[in-house]
Amino acid sequence: MERTLILDALNATAAQEHITLCGWIRTRRDAKGFCFVELNDGSCLANMQCIVDEGTEAHAALGDANTGAAVQIEGELVASPGKGQRWEVRARALRVFGLADPESFPLQKKRHSDEFLRGIAHLRPRTNKFGAAFRIRSETARAVHDFFHARRFALVHTPVLTGADCEGAGEMFRVTTLPVGATDQTADFFNRQCNLTVSGQLEAEALALGLGRVYSFGPTFRAENSNTPRHAAEFWMIEPEMAFADLDDLMELSESLTRHVVEHVLLHCEADLKLFDSFVDKGLLERLRAMLNRPFARISYTEAVAILTDCDREFTYPVAFGTDLQTEHERYLAEEHFQRPVIVYNYPREIKAFYMRANDDGETVAAMDMLVPRIGELIGGSQREERLDRLTARILELGQEPEDYWWYLDLRRFGSVPHAGFGLGFERLLMMLTGITNIRDVLPFPRTPGSLEF
């Protein structure tokens, strides 16, 4: 179907004799002798104002089509005499693809609550806010790929179905073809237990130890029953893994990636970000720009604990060396104490996963988390334990079977090297970029406990 995107039409450098637009009517206003149709096609936030003169074929074809109807409008692109837009279209011909009954169409001109729109997730891409959110989601993904491509990382695809529990937290979705109630797992499809992956890290390590620098960007699944605004059961993670690299290299990578993405969206999503700055999170643009002005903070876990115990803030969860930082602590550090992203490194080994590299102090591991204002943890990663004896001992210490990790341990048996990687939660990144405070609103079709409608 021949058509011009409204995004391109609005950027035209000259008037055009003939243009064809397709989209959905946002509003229709009938005046004396003509009617205004505001058309949106999702290519950008802005609508194209179209004028349909009474008595024309176009006007007859428009009939009583109104908000929500899908139409094609052919006409002339002319300079707009009105305020607010450079161009408008004078319609010559019009075709209605699909009407929307004004009585039952749920998206009315007024502003709707986020809760209401979650209940109509199939229609919310047609609102300004969610159109903008999902365009920013797309641009952010592009920025991530650009970044790694420029640094010569290979994109790898790690399996979604896996027999391993990478994080050791056990919060996994089981996948089975056995009938309900069956107990013999060896009779299952893979002759063993299978889950949806919680992280592609273990496989990414194997790939990094062949390709040098890799990253995966895919869906991950966690059956945490935590109904928070920052957790989803299905979310996307970006997981780079670098061979011949240590914790310092990893911290540098995490900061550069975050900065690159912020810079990219400031450059390429200006109109959409302005919408969030005006209606969702006043000060968003200023905060994003300020992030680029100075280096992120870096402190050890021990220093973080000192800051949290010395401050005069009352926390719900007390802090002491050896406790995991809670969101309230993470946010205090990033939002109030440093007022910018902060990388916390060298966490106590007891609260971290088995694969993290032991530091010489015997107490901490070479882990890092990046904490950002308003969200808390955005990135979690570590240098990996590359010493076979240490890793085997840690697996045994945690009551696990080294045989279950035979291939992972092989990577330490044959040509082991220092290597490091992290996982960045893509939705949390989008929350940071848009000011949206609920993860359900940066995912087109969120999966959270008790919610799987669409």
- For Mg ion, which residue has the nearest CB? 380
Q: Which of 131, 380, 421, 425 binds Mg ion (CB under 5 A)?
A: 380
Q: Which is nearer to ligand 4AD, 148 or 422 (CB)?
A: 422
Can residue 213 be called a binding residue for ligand 4AD (CB under 6 A)?
no
Which of positions 267-296 make contact with ligand 4AD (CB under 6 A)?
Answer: none
Query: Does residue 422 belong to the site contacting ligand 4AD (CB under 6 A)?
Result: yes
| 22 sits near ligand 4AD (criterion: CB under 6 A) | no
User: 232-242 burial by CB neighbour count: b if 16+ within 10 A, else e?
Assistant: bbbbbbbbbbb
Q: How many CB atoms lie within 10 A of CB 253?
A: 24
HEC sequence for 62-80: HCCCCCCCEEEEEEEEEEC
Of 79-87, 272-280, 376-384, 389-397, which segment contacts Mg ion by CB under 5 A?
Answer: 376-384
Return the number of the residue (380 or 446) whose C-beta is nearest Mg ion: 380
425 near Mg ion, rule: CB under 5 A: no
Q: How far apart are the first and last CA of the chain?
A: 29
CA atoms within a 13 Å half-sphere pointing along the CA-CB vector of 85: 22
238-267 residues in contact with ligand 4AD (CB under 6 A) are: 239
**Rounded to the nearest 5°, which phi and psi values hold at 129?**
-65, -45
Pick from 341, 373, 381, 446: which binds ligand 4AD (CB under 6 A)? Answer: 381
- Closest separation in Å from C-beta 117 to ligand 4AD: 20
**Applying CB under 6 A, which of residues 427, 430, 431, 446 lies at the interface with ligand 4AD?**
427
Phi-psi region of 63 (alpha: psi -120 to 50; beta: other; left: phi over 0): left
Task: Tell me the window of 131-139, 318-326, 375-383, 413-421 that interacts with Mg ion (CB under 5 A).
Answer: 375-383
Strands 342-348 and 297-300: parallel
Using CB under 6 A as the binding rule, whether residue 376 contacts ligand 4AD is answered as no
Stretch that binds ligand 4AD, among 186-194, 409-417, 421-429, 444-452 (CB under 6 A): 421-429
Q: Are 281 and 434 in contact (CB under 8 A)?
A: yes
Tokens of 332: 């205090």
Q: Which of 164, 166, 172, 196 lies at the binding interface for ligand 4AD (CB under 6 A)?
A: 166
Interface stretch with ligand 4AD, choices 68-76, 134-142, 173-181, 374-382 (CB under 6 A): 374-382
| Contact yes or no for 293/340 (Cβ under 8 A) | no
Which of 381/418 has CB closer to ligand 4AD? 381
Binding site for Mg ion (CB under 5 A): 380
